[in-house]
């Protein structure tokens, strides 16, 4: 039993008071967990593009003041009523989606899109009572994605917390709770290239490089990185990419360029940009008869995907994926084990590190397009 169990905890959190304005380190009050909730001590968190996107108020519903953050690692401080599979001291990854284990999706082997806990960017409160667990001088502060990890302590629904190997280093595996697993799982769980096959990866940011890493783990013989930014190509070699295409260098559609390189098309493609034209290219560049394209990137709400139906009739397959088809509580521990077993190299995704007091530097790094993941150390 922790000494703070059942009590309000006073700690530091980085609060976004206004869209696009630097976060402010404030003393916040974090209420005890309610039914089916856990309170976590966050030790390491990292910055993902989704945090920046909603901080800039480009998302659906601007909501301030708010505590952002959703890629993190920590330790369970206390648990609320009804929580039986987590205990104080457990090492965990909080996740932006969840697994209630009760709904049709959770009971299906084919889905990870939990009815209760799937991603909801518009919800700034907890499910149990519709209230926030954060206050500053008595004023409620909104949650983000049910995680709000830019705080030394946070409260999550138990279904959004994955218990992991107690020996796993949180300063490394914290990045597995969002983008890296999304790209990795898109390849390993959905595209499923066979050994010796060819794979095209559209977009060479962190998610795309994780998809390339998945292709490398599968034994793909040719991994083609596609990006408008040629400065990303050298780094992508570390993630298994063997060939590169910059669409700006060609006067014909990129799908035609790739078909010419691969005797009719790649065996698999994974699209990680969210650009609808890239999505169409990713589908049309796979080989007829057996080619599979997987969409990962999130499009604009008014986008429309257009391709000729004969592309399907010629036995090309188009799939989508959410969080790499991983069920957070069931599957994330095994992704951590891939790192522990030295199959998966996580360190190469981590390019920067800053103390919590300098969290705004992490935003500056991402806004400049530098590096992949910046770790924020909570206890420096």
DSSP state of 23: P
Catalytic choice (66, 70, 143, 268)? 70
Catalytic choice (4, 45, 50, 262)? 50
Catalytic choice (26, 37, 48, 147)? 48
Catalytic choice (37, 99, 100, 213)? 100
Active-site residue, 174 included? no
Active-site residue, 114 included? yes
Q: Report the distance separating Cα 143 and Cα 15, nearest Å.
A: 10
Active-site residue, 106 included? yes
Active-site residue, 103 included? yes
Catalytic choice (106, 241, 272, 285)? 106
Catalytic choice (77, 97, 114, 216)? 114
Catalytic choice (11, 35, 103, 317)? 103
Cβ neighbors of 297 (< 8 A, separation 6 or more) are: 202, 203, 207, 271, 272, 273, 274, 275, 278, 279
Catalytic choice (118, 143, 216, 329)? 118
Active-site residue, 110 included? no
Active-site residue, 352 included? no
Q: Report the distance separating Cα 80 and Cα 217, nearest Å.
A: 40
Active-site residue, 373 included? yes
C-alpha closest to that of 213 among 295, 313, 335:
335
Catalytic choice (11, 35, 49, 317)? 49
Catalytic choice (105, 232, 268, 373)? 373
DSSP letters for 277-338: HHHHHHHHTBPTTT-EEEE-SPPPTT------THHHHTT-EEEE-SGGG--HHHHHHHHHHH
Active-site residue, 50 included? yes
Active-site residue, 156 included? no
Catalytic choice (37, 71, 271, 284)? 71
Active-site residue, 70 included? yes
Catalytic choice (156, 178, 272, 285)? 178
Active-site residue, 241 included? no
For residue 144, cis peptide bond before it (omega within 30 degrees of 0)? no
Q: Which residues are tagged catalytic?
A: 48-50, 70-71, 100, 103, 106, 114, 118, 178, 373
């Amino acid at each position: 039993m922790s000494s703070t169990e059942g009590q309000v905890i006073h700690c530091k959190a980085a609060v976004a008071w206004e869209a696009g304005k630097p976060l402010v380190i404030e003393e916040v009050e974090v209420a005890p967990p309610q039914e089916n909730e856990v309170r976590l001590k966050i030790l390491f968190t990292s910055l993902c593009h989704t945090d920046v996107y909603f901080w800039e108020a480009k998302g659906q519903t601007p909501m301030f003041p708010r505590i952002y953050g959703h890629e993190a690692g920590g330790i369970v401080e206390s648990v609320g009523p009804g929580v039986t599979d987590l205990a104080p001291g457990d090492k965990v990854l909080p996740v932006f989606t969840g697994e209630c284990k009760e709904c049709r999706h959770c009971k299906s082997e084919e889905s990870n899109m939990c009815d209760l806990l799937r991603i909801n960017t518009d919800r700034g409160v907890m499910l149990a009572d519709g209230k926030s667990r954060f206050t500053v001088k008595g004023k409620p502060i909104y949650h983000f994605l049910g995680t709000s990890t830019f705080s030394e302590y946070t409260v999550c629904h138990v279904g959004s917390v994955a218990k992991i190997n107690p020996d796993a280093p949180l300063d490394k595996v914290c990045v597995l709770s969002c983008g890296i697993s999304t790209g990795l799982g898109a390849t390993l769980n959905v595209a499923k290239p066979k050994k010796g096959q060819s794979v095209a990866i559209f977009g060479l940011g962190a998610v795309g490089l994780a998809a390339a890493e998945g292709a490398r783990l599968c034994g793909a013989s040719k991994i083609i990185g596609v990006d408008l930014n040629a400065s990303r190509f050298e780094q992508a070699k570390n993630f298994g990419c063997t060939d590169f295409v910059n669409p700006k260098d060609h006067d014909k559609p990129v799908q035609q360029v790739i078909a010419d390189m691969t005797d009719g098309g790649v065996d698999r493609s994974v699209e990680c940009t969210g650009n609808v034209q890239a999505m169409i290219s990713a589908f049309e560049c796979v080989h007829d008869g057996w080619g599979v394209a997987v969409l990962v990137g999130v499009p604009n709400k008014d986008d429309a995907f257009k391709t000729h139906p004969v592309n399907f009739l010629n036995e090309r397959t188009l799939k989508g994926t959410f969080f790499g088809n991983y069920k957070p509580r069931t599957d994330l521990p095994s992704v951590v084990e891939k790192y522990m077993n030295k199959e998966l190299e996580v360190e190469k995704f981590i390019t920067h590190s800053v103390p919590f007091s300098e969290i705004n530097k992490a935003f500056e790094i991402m806004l400049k397009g530098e590096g992949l993941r910046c770790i924020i150390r909570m206890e420096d």
